[in-house]
Amino acid sequence: MDVSSASFIPRRVAGAAEARAVLASEGAAIVTGLCDERSAVAFGREVLGDKAVRIGTQFEATKAHGEKEAAQVAMQPVDSRGRKRSMAPTEDRMVAHNDGFAFGDYAPDHLFLWCERPAARGGDSFLIDTSRLLDLLAVDPEWAAVADFCRGIDIDHSEPNYPQGTHAPIARTAPSGRFQGRYHPYLAPVEGPSEAEHWTFVRRWEEAVVAARDTGPMFRVDAGEMICIDNYRVLHGRDGHSDPLRKVCSIWGWSTEAVAVPDGPLDIVVPKVPMSA
């Protein structure tokens, strides 16, 4: 099945109001002319508008920072289900994901990726609209059951050794009415009598996401540009690169439409889910 149309290149827009409108209708937009990180965070807050609750830089995506975090994660043990956390080298194409997936309901509902310096070669970005991807699966007789599973069966969205304490479908309607579709490499069925059967559907969802990533378009973001993303609806990632000078800031934003907002900073190396809403 051809799922390449679930991947897309976002439109370049002018101003926060247009970015907000395109973000709501299409899932992502690109803005230009943001000269520094402070300007990027301020623009993201303007996009959130009167719904803004919290926004700030979560981490800087550089080769050195990624290698440091990967070394820390590599020391963490295998969990009771045989799963182990890992962070791939920057030379690999990134796994499609929603940022903050380890935190479940506390993941940001908006993501802003500001580019200070692109890689000299490689590092192009990709986006996958999970709503579009599920619609494509739903009309294909060989994949319709996968779409039904994603929309109707609770699974475990936790990372190894960091349980979230709740289960939910891959795709759902958030309390605010917004669509939410999720993917990351540690999705697993809820343990129990249906686990073996449900693994088949989880792995087919992974297959569909990887196919959308690898057959859809990629695009380059230049210095001073920022991708504004509906982090509930759109998966993102980048192609491999080896440039030690590439720098992108991942800015997380929570609006009044977020399922839950954390009380303080979140640590992606030790992703313990906050205990209070």
**pLDDT tens-digit profile of 77-103?**
999 989 999 999 999 999 999 999 999
Compute the mean pLDDT over every residue in the chain, rounded to the nearest whole number. 96
Angle CA(195)–CA(269)–CA(40) in degrees, nearest 5?
115
This prediction has a pTM of: 0.97
Residue 277 has pLDDT above 50, yes or no: no
Q: What is the pLDDT of residues 141-157, one digit of tens each?
A: 999 999 999 999 999 99
Residue pair 243/120 in contact by the 8 Å Cβ criterion = yes
pLDDT, residue 273, reads 86
Give bridge partners of residue 155 from the DSSP assignment.
Answer: 168, 189
pLDDT, residue 231, reads 98
Closest CA to 63 of 246, 222, 236, 239: 246
| Confidence band, pLDDT 50/70/90 cuts, at residue 275 | low
Stretch among 39-43, 108-112, 130-134, 164-168 having the lowest mean pLDDT: 164-168
DSSP 5-68: GGB-PPEE-SSHHHHHHHHHHHSEEEE----SHHHHHHHHHHHHGGGEEEEEEEEEE-HHHHHH
Q: What is the pLDDT of residues 175-194, one digit of tens each?
A: 999 999 999 999 999 999 99
How far is residue 121's CA from residue 118's CA, in Å, rounded to a whole number? 8
The DSSP bridge pattern shows strands 11-12 and 28-31 to be parallel
Structural domains in the chain?
4-255 (3.60.130.10)
